[in-house]
Chains A and B, each alone.
Chain A
Amino acid sequence: MYEKEFQFIFNYASSKADDIEILLSSNKSFSVKIHNQEIESFNYADAKGIGVRVIKDDKVGYAYTEEFNEKTLRVIVDQAVENSSFSEDADKIEFSSYPDIPRRPRVYSRKLDAVDVASKIDFTKKVERIAREADKRIINVPFATFGDGRSFIKIANSRGLHKEDRQNYAYAVVGVLAAEKDDKRAGFDFIISRNFSDFDPHKLAVKSVEKAIGLLGGREIASGGYPIIFNNEMMATMLATFSSIFSAQSVQEGKSLLKGRLNKIIASNKVTIIDDALHKKGFSTRSFDSEGYPSQKTVLIDKGKLIGYLHNTITARKDRVSSTGNAARDYKGILSVSPTNFFLKPGNVTSNELYSRHARLIEIVSLQGMHAGANTISGDFSLSAEGFLYEQGERKDSLKQFTVSGNILQMLKDVEDIADDFIFDTSACGSASVLIKKLAVSSR
């Protein structure tokens, strides 16, 4: 697909730029949202774009378009060449024809594409109805959504690289609101899968209802330091929030806390953090990155020791290492580094054991304000949280909204143990439940 456009750009650019890379992505998606058993919204999307990256006199320039006629294709090459003349980045850039991985992961299901719209609506209506009727304390189901999509990516460069891939996916999310007396609590749950039979409306609805109902009737707890368990979902959320500190780009720009810490112990020996673009269960699984570089598994922290950063070929060349296949770019943007399936390796204790480690501890099951209350540059966080008080391993009380504060590096050092209940969350970050020795809690 799009051979004509690619050839046109290559031909036109051959006299204008020293080298060129062309990235095309196209996405088709669908979503339906149900409220009170009626279709609240129904969306179809079909969009594509081309971005070019040119090298001229060792300088790089970018431009993109969503309009695919010959005139605009010429314009983006000209603009990219013009933009390159202002580049002051001394980082050396080279394009290359990277090899393919031996066996590509399966990221496309024909069967999923064949699911009809009526079944998707039916599923979503069921989720909404079951959630609404599950408990009389459920006062609203603000959203019940099913969505799916297909994406196609094509990348080629003037050094002979030419790769394409297609993916599809489906997801469902439901949010419920429960109330009792003057306490209101929300509960959310989701499914992501390529297999439509994984979409069990009952399981999804009941899980979100249980989350909201369980939190009702909270009490306040005295401010102070407590042992804290982040449940698997919330630990994954914490990892997602702070994953950028592992980017070699952030390190090289002096924006990461991990600058100068390579080969040092920076976390508890229980902590192993991995980025694996080939993980079978991950939601960011792919064969190659946005430079066409082959995907791999990269260990970042090994039993507490920082052994690597995430790289694209530019940051890798600067550090004299190999790329880890973490180049990220959409057609509108410039090249950066980002994680794929990014996770904390699970431990081998059961969650029951973990919750019994301290006579008294707080479990965090919900966090808000990640973009405001967590500073990825300083590592400091102060987040609005919900959760439960545990005593002798038993869940005692739900707690009124509180804040949990600390610093991510100190927290990784204070990891006491990790359970075996591993999950991936919606951001493709994964974790099991994690016990932290102590964090500050503010409430009353």
Chain B
Amino acid sequence: MISKHLLLKVLDKALSNGADFADIFVESTYNSLINYNDNKTKQNIVGRDQGAGVRVFYGQSAIYAYTNDLSEKALIAAAAAVSQAARGKSDGKVINLTVRKNFDRHPVAIPSDTVSRRDKIDFIKQINDSSRNYSDLISQVDITLIEKIQKVLIVNSEGLLTEDMRNYARVNVISIASRGTEKQTGWEGPGGLAGYEFFKSLDPAALGRNTASRAVTMLQADYAPGGKMPVIIDNGFGGVIFHEACGHSLETTSVAKGASIFAGKMGEQIASPLVTAIDDGTIPNAWGSENIDDEGLPTRKTVLIENGILKSYMVDRMGSVKTGYETTGSGRKQSYKFAPASRMRNTYIAAGKSKLEDLIASTELGIYAKKMGGGSVMPGTGNFNFAVSEAYLIKKGKIQEPVRGVTLIGNGGDILKKISMIADNLALSQGMCGSVSGSVPANVGQPAIKVDEITIGGRK
């Protein structure tokens, strides 16, 4: 995309005012989106994003400038802007750039841009038909096929030059069930760091049926009771609870500022001894995986918590400067429009030994959160809230009627200690994680867990 000679020139310009470190991130991305709803192809758009970001560090300050004009003039101007802000004392100069090739852990069989729109729309229609055939209560189905091929090139003042290509494929399915003025939704959104073969591996009929069945079930549900209760959170997307309530507080972005409940707790017991939690960017073709992070470092498998003991944070370059911990290949960002920050990849609680049935059987009165919705956490306080999109009451150790409108609220530090049982049914589920460096693909995951007490926001 840009000559080695020009990259060197831009790095030198960026360092010219005494910065400690400089890097350049160049991106060229194919984006494709097809949205189908109301039984029609409503959106069908492709496009190309391109741009570059120049970053420098001096001391603990990071300066970032981006442009989507890749001419020499624009790149030098971006480098000049960052160097002017860097009043450092280093006298670095980059002698040469050495290419580092990365082993491709995530091979792509059918690149997204080689498949016809017709095939993609046909795939979508199968999902749509299956959902609508499930029940007359299904009033609308909204399906979005999102594909992206992101080519990145990263160079830095340590002489590194490396590249990666990331092909993403995901389908989001929302089925809406209606009766009178009431509406309920069922959602699934499988995705992978893979080409079109990912869609071929899915069962479109099952996607339609499952989302429809959830919407219909919830339409027939009554409102949930409120108050404090034990909650069993099932596998897969249930991991969003760990992601939001604990994962974000283990990123050096919040740890370095002392704005995390887990700051200064390395080596301490922060969770129930049952809990081992991992953040792994190496899982082949997984949604949150990559070969290298957006700072050019090879991705890794990082054990965050082992048997309840805090073992590692997720560390990006600036996080490493600030905290002294070694980088974990966790510097990620949405696009050239963002400076990288420490972010999660595929984050999950490891499988335990219990069976889901045992978790249910041990609960006198509680909530079975079969499918979680989204949630958020207040940084600094660790307070979180999550919606449950499919929930049931548990009475006397048995799953009873479905309940709707359930929200779980609590505190991340607290909940980790209240996990009393972990099942053996680990599964991962896909999401988009939003934070300071934009929205990035991330897997959440867990086996079913039992939390002894969470506040339920209900309406009864």
Contact = CB atoms under 8 A, between A and B. Distances in A.
A384 B383 contact: yes
A46 B54 CA distance: 12
Interface in A29-83: 35, 38-49, 51, 61-67, 72, 75-76, 79, 82-83
B407 interface: yes
A262 interface: no
B226 A51 contact: no
A253 B117 CA distance: 23
A359 B42 CA distance: 52
Contacts of B66: 44-47
Nearest to B383: A401
B139 to A, nearest CB: 6
B181 interface: yes
A320 interface: no
B354 interface: no
Interface stretch (A84-92, A153-161, A235-243): A84-92
A405 interface: yes
A442 B458 contact: yes
B407 A375 contact: no
Best-buried of A45, A82, A440 by chain B (most CB within 10 Å): A45
Interface in B340-393: 373-376, 378-387
Contacts of B383: 368, 384, 401
A372 B68 contact: no
Interface in B244-290: 254, 257-259
A76 B386 CA distance: 41
Contact of A382 (B65, B337, B406): B406
B140 A51 contact: no
B37 A403 contact: no
A349 interface: no
Nearest to A249: B42
B457 A384 contact: yes
B305 interface: no
A373 B407 contact: yes
Contacts of B378: 186, 368
A48 B226 contact: no
Contacts of A140: 257-259, 380
Given A47-B66, A49-B68, A403-B385, A87 B44 contact: yes
Range of interface residues on A (Cβ < 8 Å): 35 or more
Contacts of A89: 40-42
Nearest to B228: A444
A199 to B, nearest CB: 20
A255 B140 contact: yes
Contacts of A41: 61-64, 339
Contacts of B190: none
A372 B380 CA distance: 20
Contacts of A405: 226, 405, 407, 457-459
B interface, over-half SS: strand
B395 interface: no
A333 B455 contact: no
Nearest to B59: A38
B307 interface: no
B59 A369 contact: no
Interface string A329-342: 00011100000000
Contact of A254 (B38, B118, B407, B456): B38
Contacts of A40: 60-62
Given A223-B226, A382-B457, A377 B176 contact: yes
Contacts of B47: 51, 63-66, 76, 332
Contacts of B460: 440
Interface in A329-376: 332-334, 368-369, 371-373, 375
Given A38-B59, A255-B140, A383-B407, A64 B51 contact: no
Contact of B121 (A86, A332, A373): A86
Given A62-B44, A86-B117, A142 B379 contact: yes
Contacts of A62: 43-45
B184 to A, nearest CB: 6
Interface string A397-431: 00001111110010000000000000000000000
B67 A186 contact: no
Nearest to A82: B117
Interface in A86-139: 86-90, 117, 139
A interface, over-half SS: strand
Interface stretch (B78-86, B325-333, B421-429): B78-86
B385 A383 contact: yes
B385 A373 contact: yes
B46 interface: yes
A46 B68 contact: yes
Contacts of B457: 373, 382-384, 402-405, 442
Interface residues of B, number: 79
A373 B60 CA distance: 37
A88 B128 CA distance: 15
Contact of A373 (B62, B69, B257, B387): B387
A405 to B, nearest CB: 5
A177 interface: yes
B183 interface: yes
B194 interface: no
B48 interface: yes
Best-buried of A75, A89, A139, A382 by chain B (most CB within 10 Å): A382
A442 B46 contact: no
B409 to A, nearest CB: 5
A377 B183 contact: yes
A88 B66 CA distance: 38
A185 B82 CA distance: 35
B125 to A, nearest CB: 10
B48 A384 contact: no
Contact of B185 (A332, A373, A375): A375
A297 interface: no
A223 B459 CA distance: 10
A72 B409 CA distance: 49
Interface string B173-204: 00010100111110000000000000000000
A373 B376 CA distance: 9
A253 B176 CA distance: 11
Given A40-B60, A369-B385, A45 B337 contact: yes
A44 B82 contact: yes
A90 B41 CA distance: 10
Contacts of B379: 142, 186
Given A47-B66, A184-B380, A403-B409, A142 B257 contact: yes
B78 to A, nearest CB: 7
B459 A86 contact: no
Contact of B140 (A43, A88, A253): A253
B50 interface: yes
Contacts of B43: 62, 334
A70 B166 CA distance: 27
B209 interface: no
A195 to B, nearest CB: 25
A139 B263 CA distance: 13
Contacts of A86: 41, 44, 117-118, 121
A263 interface: no
A372 B386 contact: yes
B31 interface: yes
A384 B380 contact: no
A82 B45 CA distance: 10
B136 interface: no
Interface in B115-154: 117-118, 121, 139-140, 142
18 contacts: A44-B66, A64-B48, A67-B70, A83-B44, A86-B41, A142-B380, A184-B382, A186-B380, A186-B381, A254-B176, A255-B140, A255-B176, A368-B378, A372-B373, A384-B407, A401-B383, A405-B407, A405-B457
Q: Which 5 A-B pairs have the closest CB atoms?
A: A403-B457, A442-B226, A384-B385, A372-B374, A369-B385
Given A47-B51, A75-B48, A382-B387, 11 more contacts: A42-B61, A44-B65, A45-B337, A66-B47, A86-B117, A368-B376, A380-B404, A382-B459, A384-B457, A403-B407, A403-B455
